[in-house]
Amino acid sequence: MGEILALVEARLLAALGEPDARAAVTFLGTDRIEVLRFAGRDVVRYATLGMSAQPMADPTAALADPVKGPRAELVLSVRAGLADTDKLLRPLAVLAATPQVEGLIVAPGASLDLGEPLWPGAPFSSVLVAESGGLVEDLELDEPMEPVRFLPLLPMTHNEAAWKRVRGAQELQERWLSHGTDLRDPLRGSVALD
């Protein structure tokens, strides 16, 4: 487990540079989750470290396989200096602990909902999980382990989350793209959903 996390951290540092802050959260009955902050001039990125220590297990399986199964870490990017996004550390750790706590597999197209704002005053309480392979490349592990995927999180307003449940993740992403939505803007409103 420690070896995997060391490789994951090295991949994050290679892609994003040195973190300027980190926080650790441990929830009852779960492994420790760290959240690293990478502050750039224009964009601040937050990445989890610890979610990939164990593979995510199918909630219908009688026993969780300790080796096989998808592994992931979460990455969220926001424009710097517009909102108090540093309060995002604990909520992001909560989302990263979801597979251990609720037995869910976090995959592209999924929604994760906190039930409260991602940070104080945020218009978002949920996120859409996007495809990996962009900002941070997947980390290949020795067989039979699956690669660690670094999944971007895209904050959704309440209306967008409801629309996504009905129309699907692909249509919401196409709507964002066609309207030129800045998904890194921590103050943005909902995209037009007519």
Looking at residue 26, its pLDDT comes to 83
Looking at residue 74, its pLDDT comes to 98
Q: Which positions ≥6 away from 24 have C-beta within 8 Å?
A: 32, 33, 34, 35
Q: What whole-number distance in Å separates Cα of residue 11 and Cα of residue 6?
A: 9
Q: Which positions ≥6 away from 22 have C-beta within 8 Å?
A: 34, 35, 36, 37, 49
**Which runs of consecutive H residues, i.e. helices, occur in the chain?**
2-16, 89-102, 158-167, 169-178
Are β-strands 71-79 and 43-49 bridged in parallel, bridged antiparallel, or unpaired?
antiparallel
Cα 39 from chain centre? 17
Say what the pTM is: 0.93
How far from 130 is each of 1, 38, 82, CA to CA, in Å?
A: 25, 20, 23
Q: What whole-number distance in Å separates Cα of residue 53 and Cα of residue 130?
A: 21
Looking at residue 127, its pLDDT comes to 97
Looking at residue 59, its pLDDT comes to 67
Looking at residue 133, its pLDDT comes to 84
pLDDT digits 0-9 by tens, 13-55: 999 999 999 988 887 777 889 999 999 889 999 999 999 999 9
Residues in the chain where the model's pLDDT stays below 50: none
